[in-house]
Structure 1
Amino acid sequence: SILEQHRSAPPTIITHETSVTGETAEALWKAYHQNFEPLEELAVLQHLYTRDEMLEEFANPRILKIVGWQGGEPVGLAMVTNSLEEVPQISPRYLRRSYPEHGARNAIYFGILVMVSPGVRGLTLFSRLSTELWQVVARDSGVLVWDVCDFNRLTFDAETITKRIAENFPHSTFAVLDRQTWYAAELPEPIPVAPHR
């Protein structure tokens, strides 16, 4: 029958994990590498961290791992933390100054990443993981901060995706908080120097 020929994928469930180790961490490392390795040639800022660095983050209980599972295998991951010192590329002082009320309640969250294994891309898992990450923050009446490289911002229309997710949350707002601009100057020749007299 047609149903036997086109079996549906197993349902995807989402869990919250404080620590991920062992085979699950290794599977997530492989998926992370597949997702972020291409950005090494597409973005100036380092996106691909070492296996040891990622395994350390997966095991860190101060970073919440939101895992998408299909058939008992991890196929997606979102990571978020309100322990801002766990994120070396941000300034906790800047965020606490910008959001003092949230900072006083430890309700400033940094969205570290959202990724989906290549075999399940194009379905709904990225949106589900993103929305669940936002929901973690909303349950704390918090503020969520994250960054997107220009390649991903333009290719995947990050502003539209952000707006669509935000529309699900009553009274939510979003704005660009800061921007990093990278410059490059090609200098084929030095400034001419007059000969000494």
Structure 2
Amino acid sequence: MSEPNLDVTTVRRLPEDVIDIFWPIYRASFEPLTVRAAARHLLSREEFEEDMRDERILKFLVQDGGRIVGMTTMTTDLDAVPWISPEYYRHHYPEHAARGAIYYFGYALVGPDHRRNRVFVAMLDSMLALLLENRAIAAYDVSRYNDETVKLAERLFIRARQTSEVTVDVADVQTYYAATFHGPRSD
């Protein structure tokens, strides 16, 4: 496969036709997590469209020869991310919060025809440049499946360390338990 001619741009709001392109890619990417992760990762179509229209959320779009093939979302407006506690980040990183330099990653999507080339790296490099320029905090969450099996966080760390002096810490851990009751005690 030849190396694609990639161009990364950022937008605040996706046009309807681009939302239609990414909905099936998003669904195919996140639907497997419905049985692999205890937390809900798959948005409804309406929630996905709302994110794509939400101007608080920056969308990094990758084009290959004019065709959009990848997207990652990121925001500095922590209130735009319903599954996190903005207060947690503001409390633990007050200096970064005061200057609007806490960026939360949403999700990354790459079309199935482009998963084996540099689309994800191109998006990541654009985001890393922004983070480095702003001496920012990059916050994100990764399911255990994506962390241990796909090694997503490790791959992100490796790329970040190639271009930046960066410290990575686990901010928090949420553990889900399932207790199975088998009947009364027999003693």
Residues 147 and 118 (structure 1), Cα distance of their counterparts in 2 relative to 1, 3 Å cut: same
1:78 is matched with 72
TM-score computed with the length of structure 2 as normaliser: 0.91
Q: Secondary structure at the match of 1:119?
A: helix
Q: Pick from 24, 47, 63: which aligns with 1:53? A: 47
1:154 is matched with 148
Q: Pick from 86, 102, 119: which aligns with 2:96? A: 102
Gapped regions of structure 2 (runs ≥ 5): none
Matches of 1:74 and 1:187, distance apart in 2:
50
The one-letter code of the counterpart of 1:89 is W
Q: Secondary structure at the match of 2:107?
A: strand
1:31 is matched with 25
The answer as to whether partners of 1:13 and 1:68 remain within 8 angstroms in 2 is: yes
2:126 is matched with 132
* Alignment partner of 1:145 is 2:135: no
Q: Greater shift after overlay, 152-161 or 12-21?
A: 152-161
The answer as to whether partners of 2:37 and 2:144 remain within 8 angstroms in 1 is: yes
TM-score computed with the length of structure 1 as normaliser: 0.87
Residue deviations 1:80-115 (CA, integer Å, cap 9, x gap): 000000001111111011101001111111001112
Instruction: Kindly state the Cα deviation for residue 175 of structure 1 after the two structures are TM-superposed.
Output: 1.3
Larger radius of gyration: 1
The answer as to whether partners of 2:19 and 2:52 remain within 8 angstroms in 1 is: yes
1:195 is matched with none
Matches of 2:177 and 2:22, distance apart in 1:
34
Matches of 1:73 and 1:188, distance apart in 2:
56
Instruction: Kindly state the Cα deviation for residue 49 of structure 1 after the two structures are TM-superposed.
Output: 0.2
RMSD: 1.9
1:3 is matched with none
Instruction: Kindly state the Cα deviation for residue 172 of structure 1 after the two structures are TM-superposed.
Output: 1.6
- Which runs of structure 1 show a deviation greater than 3 angstroms over 4 or more consecutive aligned residues? none
Q: Secondary structure at the match of 1:167?
A: helix
Matches of 1:61 and 1:180, distance apart in 2:
29
The one-letter code of the counterpart of 2:26 is Y
The one-letter code of the counterpart of 2:121 is S
* Alignment partner of 1:177 is 2:175: no
2:57 is matched with 63
Matches of 2:49 and 2:153, distance apart in 1:
30
The answer as to whether partners of 1:134 and 1:144 remain within 8 angstroms in 2 is: no
1:22 is matched with 16
Instruction: Kindly state the Cα deviation for residue 13 of structure 1 after the two structures are TM-superposed.
Output: 1.8
Q: Greater shift after overlay, 84-93 or 163-172?
A: 163-172
Matches of 1:71 and 1:79, distance apart in 2:
21
Percent identity, aligned pairs only, is 32
The answer as to whether partners of 2:10 and 2:58 remain within 8 angstroms in 1 is: yes
